[in-house]
Structure 1
Amino acid sequence: MSAHRQIVVGVDGTDTSFEAVVWGAREASLRSVGLSLVTTMPGRGSPGIPVGMPAAFFEQEEADGRRRLDEAVKYAQNTTWAPEMDTHLCTGPPASELVERSTSAVMVVVGAGRHNALERALLGSVSAAVVTHAHCPVVVVRDLPYLPVLDITGPVVVGVDGSEHSQRAVAVAFEEASLRGVDLLAVHVWSDIEIPIPFHRLESGDTGVQERVVLAESLAGYAEQYPDVYVRSVVAMDRPARRLREYANGAQLLVVGRRGRGGFTGMLLGSTSRALLHSVSCPMMVAR
């Protein structure tokens, strides 16, 4: 057990945050690292808290926070992995606390169970903010259908576009597939436009050949480093988020880079990653 390396999980009392706890417990066991459960409560001077709030208010908030952590611990202990863990009740903004802890974490795991348009827009308040600013990989977990057993199957899927951010995602995806002992599906989708004619007609020309080269170059060298990982490759002309969402259905993990090759300077989270963050059905890892 690595005493100083931990997986950090944000706990807010929702079902999806407890799903994130269970998923994080499994990952901690796979990596032989600890699990750190983090929740927050408002403190005096916190944004949105009126001056002069009575002590009873903060006492109740503290009690609620400790109950959330106690429940999260029970979820983790009820798994077959039950890693070594600690808990933290903090008074800073949730996203800031998780980003700060990401500097020394193996990964940060958060839940995301928002479905309607307003809730998707508000996702940026915590989950997307952590994904955007964290210093380590972030996994967003939503709607796992198999708690508490967490019988995860399927391949690891990685989105590849040839960019520097994508290359980091490829490296992480190989590590994850090897760790789990599953196949890796590498998906390179090379257009943002919607094409009504068959894909095979579009992929047979020079552009399709060039895009296959991009994928092959992105994967080069990893076969020797990870001989245990069987790689399947897909090149398609489609909208990247749509095609990756399809392949992620039934996968145990989708890995993407924070930005793609079409991102603007200064953009910290690309449009494809952001779109998938709101809609993908399996746990999604955004690699630094």
Structure 2
Amino acid sequence: MANPVVVGVDGSPSSLHAVEVAAREAGLRGVGLRLVHAFGWPSMHVPPGGPPWNPAAAGVRELVDGTLIEAEQRARRAAPQVETTREVTVGEPLMVLEIESRSAALVVVGSRGLGAFGSLLLGSTAVHLAAHGRCPVLVVRGRPDPNGPVLLAVDGSPAGEKAVEFGFAEASMRGVDLVALHVWNTWSERAYEGPGDPLNVVVDIERLREEEQRLLDDTLSPWQERHPGVTVQRRLVRSRVRPALIEASREAQLVVAGARGRGGFTGLLLGSVSQALLHHAHCPVAVVRGGKRER
């Protein structure tokens, strides 16, 4: 049986929106949807009458059932053909989702929630899950353009190859263009412009531009051959990386990035670009880890 799409559910509006997105993702893949609700102390807001670590306590089971029933209804409306299952478990939600990611095709979470899912992007929860999850993690945030392309952040690193693969697959399944954006600069996050800039005197900018274009082309070519039906817009931009990607996400329905790219410190599981997108992108963000070398 194919691995399902897993979504974290806590009853918050954000998590219910994530359920709808996850259902559509499951429908695109032709796999099942798994609704996961975790009890953890002090993550669960429950009515008086029973401790939150006891799902059978007075009022708690009814609360959970109501939450999951609404989530199932949302999922069926979004993707009626998708088979949906439930999982209610005791444990800290972050760890539960991390374990679920070991047998999932994709884990989807909302950007705001209740308890441990709450303030997801204001704390370390989304960052931790994106860094340690065993499958791609999709954080539902922003106001995506439903007619926009999939935006792929290309850095040319070996660690980013899985993100390129994921980006092509998403564009193919959604039937939209793939905008492959490679942002380059010289030695820092400052954008150098004009012939009077000192670096333009000592650095052959045109040669660097040609090398970056070659890197972009070499990264995309193998995957474009595997997905001939995907229209790819190759964009090479000389700018600061994080602001350029965040701005480009305004016109996208999804942005895809690797967990860690070129220049990342050894052992660092999530790079600054991925973290910036998780906090500030204008559309949902999928973070894709590169494989065994990042684990």
Tell me which interval the TM-score lies in, with the shorter structure as reference length: 0.7 to 0.9
Asked if 2 retains the 8 angstrom alpha-carbon contact of 1:144 and 1:282, the reply is yes
* CA deviation after TM superposition for structure 1 residue 221, in Å: 1.6
Counterpart mapping for 1:192-271 below 5 A: 192-195=188-191, 197=193, 205-271=206-272
How far apart in 1 are the matches of 2:129 and 2:283? 18
**What amino acid is aligned across from residue 88 of structure 1 in structure 2?**
E
Alignment partner, residue 11 of structure 2? 13
- Higher mean displacement: 133-142 or 173-182: 173-182
1:164 aligns with one of 150, 158, 173: 158
Alignment partner, residue 64 of structure 1? 63
How far apart in 1 are the matches of 2:182 and 2:263? 14
How far apart in 1 are the matches of 2:16 and 2:161? 31
Alignment partner, residue 292 of structure 2? none
Asked if 2 retains the 8 angstrom alpha-carbon contact of 1:16 and 1:143, the reply is no
SS in 2 for 1:282: coil
Q: Deviations over 1:183-228 (max 9, x none)?
A: 11111112342326369x9896111111111111111222221110
Asked if 1 retains the 8 angstrom alpha-carbon contact of 2:152 and 2:167, the reply is yes
Q: 1:276 to 1:143 in 2, by over 3 A?
A: closer
**What amino acid is aligned across from residue 249 of structure 2 in structure 1?**
A
* CA deviation after TM superposition for structure 1 residue 182, in Å: 1.2
* CA deviation after TM superposition for structure 1 residue 15, in Å: 1.3
SS in 1 for 2:4: strand
Asked if 1 retains the 8 angstrom alpha-carbon contact of 2:121 and 2:278, the reply is no
- Whether 2:91 is the aligned partner of 1:92: answer yes
* CA deviation after TM superposition for structure 1 residue 54, in Å: 7.1
- Whether 2:27 is the aligned partner of 1:26: answer no
SS in 2 for 1:78: helix
How far apart in 2 are the matches of 1:218 and 1:56? 53
How far apart in 2 are the matches of 1:178 and 1:15? 29
SS in 2 for 1:102: helix
Asked if 1 retains the 8 angstrom alpha-carbon contact of 2:112 and 2:121, the reply is no
Alignment partner, residue 148 of structure 1? none
Q: Deviations over 1:91-148 (max 9, x none)?
A: 111111111111111100001148xxx9577431x32221111100110001457xxx
Instruction: Give the number of aligned pairs.
Output: 270
How far apart in 2 are the matches of 1:120 and 1:198? 41
* CA deviation after TM superposition for structure 1 residue 47, in Å: 7.0
Asked if 2 retains the 8 angstrom alpha-carbon contact of 1:39 and 1:68, the reply is no
How far apart in 2 are the matches of 1:278 and 1:121? 6
**What amino acid is aligned across from residue 261 of structure 2 in structure 1?**
G
- When normalised by structure 2's length, the TM-score is 0.83
Mark the runs of 5 or more structure 2 residues left unpaired by the alignment. 290-295
Q: 1:56 to 1:287 in 2, by over 3 A?
A: closer
**What amino acid is aligned across from residue 146 of structure 2 in structure 1?**
I
Q: Cα RMSD (Å) of the superposition?
A: 2.7
- Higher mean displacement: 234-243 or 59-68: 59-68
How far apart in 2 are the matches of 1:64 and 1:174? 40
Alignment partner, residue 103 of structure 2? 104
Q: Deviations over 1:23-63 (max 9, x none)?
A: 11111111111000111123xxx5799xxx97465424443
- When normalised by structure 1's length, the TM-score is 0.85
* CA deviation after TM superposition for structure 1 residue 5, in Å: 2.0
* CA deviation after TM superposition for structure 1 residue 75, in Å: 1.2
Percent identity reads 39
**What amino acid is aligned across from residue 205 of structure 1 in structure 2?**
E
**What amino acid is aligned across from residue 161 of structure 1 in structure 2?**
D
SS in 2 for 1:182: coil
- Whether 2:123 is the aligned partner of 1:123: answer yes
How far apart in 2 are the matches of 1:99 and 1:120? 15
